[in-house]
Structure 1
Amino acid sequence: MIAYVTVGADDIEAANRFYSAFLPALGYSMTQGSEGLSFALPVPTGEAPIHPDFYVKPTFDGRPASGGNGTMVAFEAADQVQVRALHAAALAAGGSDEGQPGFRANYGPRFYVGYLRDPQGNKIALFSSNPNEASRDD
């Protein structure tokens, strides 16, 4: 099981604007400390976390942060409407478009996804595979 994912950021305030534009809508709470941003989904009392936490932090070695080539973090939305809304919100909060929301020929018929880059260049996907919605084949 993946326990957490961390991406680097040189400008924590820009990262905060970007990630706060969509992660709270997906159920994440955020805390900010001297070491950056921590996003987590709620964990019921007495239970262990089942979803990974997501951290945005300055680099440990002090060199500039960079998005990894081939590295991407994907967040699941409830439906296609939420994918579109959160993609737009993230763009308005300083992200850049890497692929407008829609179906992709290379993926399953229900995989609806939009791609972004955060202000540091990390690649982010917002997707839904909701079985109660139309597929690309409908």
Structure 2
Amino acid sequence: MPAPSLLNHVSVGTNQFDTAVQFYDAVMAALGARRVMAFPGAVAYGRELPEFWVQRPYDGKDADTANGVHFGFNAASKAEVDAFHAAALATGGKDDGKPGPRVDYGAQYYGAFVRDPDGNKIEAMFWDASAT
């Protein structure tokens, strides 16, 4: 049996819970993920398990973004990366790097970067093993 992935889950805070959930419903669906858990003020997404949480901060203070922090999601194809980017822009996200090759990350790397409605930087990437 392979070892589990290094990360169990990641959480991102929001000051606009309903807007953030609408945004993440769309971008997670583009990556083949869905809501797998929900509590008042928190929703978890995953393909099977709760891997990515969107929530109001537990301490009740405002959520803020950290400079240099971003979350990268695996996509199954370039088309999923493209769909992720399109879904993000259609639901209030801001472009932070259009879909395309990222040759400085390797010839196989295809990704797109967006900012969610709270300004968090998220990415979808596909590793194209056939690219050289």
TM range (shorter): 0.7 to 0.9
Structure 1: tracts of 5 or more residues without a match: 44-51
State the partner residue of 1:129.
127
TM-score, normalized by length of structure 1?
Answer: 0.83
Matched, 1:32 2:38: yes
State the partner residue of 2:66.
68
TM-score, normalized by length of structure 2?
Answer: 0.86
Indicate the structure with greater helix content: 2
| Cα shift readout 1:110-133 (whole Å, capped 9, x = no counterpart) | 10010001001111001101324x
Q: How many residues align?
A: 126
How many Å separate the matches in 1 of 2:23 and 2:72? 15
Amino acid at match of 1:104: R
Q: CA RMSD for the aligned pairs?
A: 1.6
Say if 1:23 and 1:73 are closer, same or farther in 2 by CA, change over 3 A. same
Q: Shift of the alpha carbon at 1:2?
A: 1.1
State the partner residue of 2:3.
none
State the partner residue of 2:113.
115
State the partner residue of 1:42.
48
